[in-house]
Every structure is written in structure tokens, then in C-alpha cells.
């Protein structure tokens, strides 16, 4: 046993004295003084290839805090190019035996713009796969549903919402209540009032329910026209959560036919579309198609 351990130590020692090349990701952070902010397509990380003795390469994972941390003292709006390899070579303070061979991307196109803050709605980027017999009821809820974001004015003005981190929930048969993080896609050039938010998703056993004699509505109807529908009501079967269906009133189900579709139709009958509570779905409609007669108002 001792001879085996000695052989292993010698083998490791000999191999770690050889020269190797490895590739490592290095996070990118661009810092600029307010009232300015960084704009442009700045990657979250660089792909850096190093060459060196095995012992030195190990230090990349143990001793060095590797990051591309670039500080800018802006006086006005500006635009310039950063040479990533030159910056890393001059600022990582590595041993002479540890070399930066290549960096991708080789340049960063940095643009300095005015700083702005605004509240942005959050969008849950989640996928929920329920167990058989269960389903999502309603829409996922976030608390808070918006956060304050600070950054370059041109980025914020085009931002209508911001995603959460991408999460998949499998084999779900109960409500989801947990903390999640916002996406890190622009974390190196934007500031956020908070990174962590609460997610709530209602999960219920699946059920079905019939609703009879639901009146059909004609939408986009001109003031000088009226439409006679044959028949004027439908029977609808909905699928949804058991508690959700128990609370749905017939008034919460709206079958409708767009007058513009009637004008474009050549068959004489159309299928109604439905407005129904989120999380429920239409299983069947009787009758499936509705005939119509267009009349002019006098």
C-alpha cells in the first residue's frame, strides 16, 4: 500500500511539472461612475486559454480570484474598444511561467451613456410539468412583481420587462412557494434593487365541469349592423383545477365571434372563440359551429 501511494505521488509530481494548456471562463464586470452607465453588448464572461506548468495551472482554481474587472472614470458620453488579452496580461499579476495564450472575444465594444433608473415588471421564466391528474391554476405570481433597475438610458427605455432565472419544475402535485432569482443576463452592466423574489404557483387536482346556455357575443360590430346568431347560446365543458371550477360563474365564460371574421367567411358558419379564466381550458362546445344572418339597422 505504501509503495502504491509513493508511486502515485511521484506520478502526480512528475506530471504536474509538465506544461499544459487549459481553458477557463473569466467573469466580466465593467464599473463606471454615476451619472454614467455602460451600454453595448458586453458578455458575461470571457473564454481564456492559459499555458503553464501544472502546479501553476492548479493555482488558477485555488489561489487566483480570476475576473475581468474594468473600472472607468467617465467625464462624458464616450465609445471605445477594450483589448481583453492586453488587459488580462497587465492586470492579473500571474507568475512569468503562466501565460495567457488567447481570449475570446478579443475586444469589447464599450459605450458610455447617461445613467437612469426605473421600475420594471418581472416575467417568470419557468416551466411546470405536473403529475397526471394535476394542473397549474391561474398565472404564476411574483412578489414583488417589479423591481428598480438602474443602467444606461438606451437599455432601460427599451426594456418592458425583465426575466427571472430559468427554472423547470417536474412531477408537481402541490402548490409552489419558493424564492427564485432574477436573470443574470445583464448583471454586469445593470444594477437591481434586489436579486431574490418570491414565486407562488397554485396547483390543483384536475376536474371537468359543464356550463349550459352561455350567450355568444358578437364583437367589433358596427353601429349600423346587427347579427342574428343561430343558435344564440352554446353549452361548454371546461377543464381546470377542482377548486377553480367550483368558483367559476357562467358570466366568467364569454364565447364570441368577431364581426370581421363573419364578413370574411364564405361557409355560413363559424366556431366561437372563448375568454375563460386563466388555467382553465375548453374541452367541448355544443354546437361546435354557429350560423349567422347579417342585418342592417334602420
CATH of domain 15-114: 2.170.120.30
Strand segments (E) across 183-280: 191-192, 196-215, 217-219, 225-230, 233-241, 254-258, 269-270, 273-275
CATH class of the region 216-296 = mainly beta
Q: Which of these ranges, 7-11, 67-71, 131-135, 270-274, has the smallest mean pLDDT?
A: 7-11
CATH of domain 115-205: 2.170.120.40
Quote the percentage of the chain above a pLDDT of 70: 91
The whole-model pTM stands at 0.70
pLDDT at 65 over 80: no
Q: What is the pLDDT of residues 197-233, one digit of tens each?
A: 999 999 999 999 999 999 999 999 888 888 888 999 9
In this prediction, residue 17 has a pLDDT band, given cuts at 50, 70 and 90, of: low
Q: Are 37 and 77 in contact (CB under 8 A)?
A: no
Amino acid at each position: 500500500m505504501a509503495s502504491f501511494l509513493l508511486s502515485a505521488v511521484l506520478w502526480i509530481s512528475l506530471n504536474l511539472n509538465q506544461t499544459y494548456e487549459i481553458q477557463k471562463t473569466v467573469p466580466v464586470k465593467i464599473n463606471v461612475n454615476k451619472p454614467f452607465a455602460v451600454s453595448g453588448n458586453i458578455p458575461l464572461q470571457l473564454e481564456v486559454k492559459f499555458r503553464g506548468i501544472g502546479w501553476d495551472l492548479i493555482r488558477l482554481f485555488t489561489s487566483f480570484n480570476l475576473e475581468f474587472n474594468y473600472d472607468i472614470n467617465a467625464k462624458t458620453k464616450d465609445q471605445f474598444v477594450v483589448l481583453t488579452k492586453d488587459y488580462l496580461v497587465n492586470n492579473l499579476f500571474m507568475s512569468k511561467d503562466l501565460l495567457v495564450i488567447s481570449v475570446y472575444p478579443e475586444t469589447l465594444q464599450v459605450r458610455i451613456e447617461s445613467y437612469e433608473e426605473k421600475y420594471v415588471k418581472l416575467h417568470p421564466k419557468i416551466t411546470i410539468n405536473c403529475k397526471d391528474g394535476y394542473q397549474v391554476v391561474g398565472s404564476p405570481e411574483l412578489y414583488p412583481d417589479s423591481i428598480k433597475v438602474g443602467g444606461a438610458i438606451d437599455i432601460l427605455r427599451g426594456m418592458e420587462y425583465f426575466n427571472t432565472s430559468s427554472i423547470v419544475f417536474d412531477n408537481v402535485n402541490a402548490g409552489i412557494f419558493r424564492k427564485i432569482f432574477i436573470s443574470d443576463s445583464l448583471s454586469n452592466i445593470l444594477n437591481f434593487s434586489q436579486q431574490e423574489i418570491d414565486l407562488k404557483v397554485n396547483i390543483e387536482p384536475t376536474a371537468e365541469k359543464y356550463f349550459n346556455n352561455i350567450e355568444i357575443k358578437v364583437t367589433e360590430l358596427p353601429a349600423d349592423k346587427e347579427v342574428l346568431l343561430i343558435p344564440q347560446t352554446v353549452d361548454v365543458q371546461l377543464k381546470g383545477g377542482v377548486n377553480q371550477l367550483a368558483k367559476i360563474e357562467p358570466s366568467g365564460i364569454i364565447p364570441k365571434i368577431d364581426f370581421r371574421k363573419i364578413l370574411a367567411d364564405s361557409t355560413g358558419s363559424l366556431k366561437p372563440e372563448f375568454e375563460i379564466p386563466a388555467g382553465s381550458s375548453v374541452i367541448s362546445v355544443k354546437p361546435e359551429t354557429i350560423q349567422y344572418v347579417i342585418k342592417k339597422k334602420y
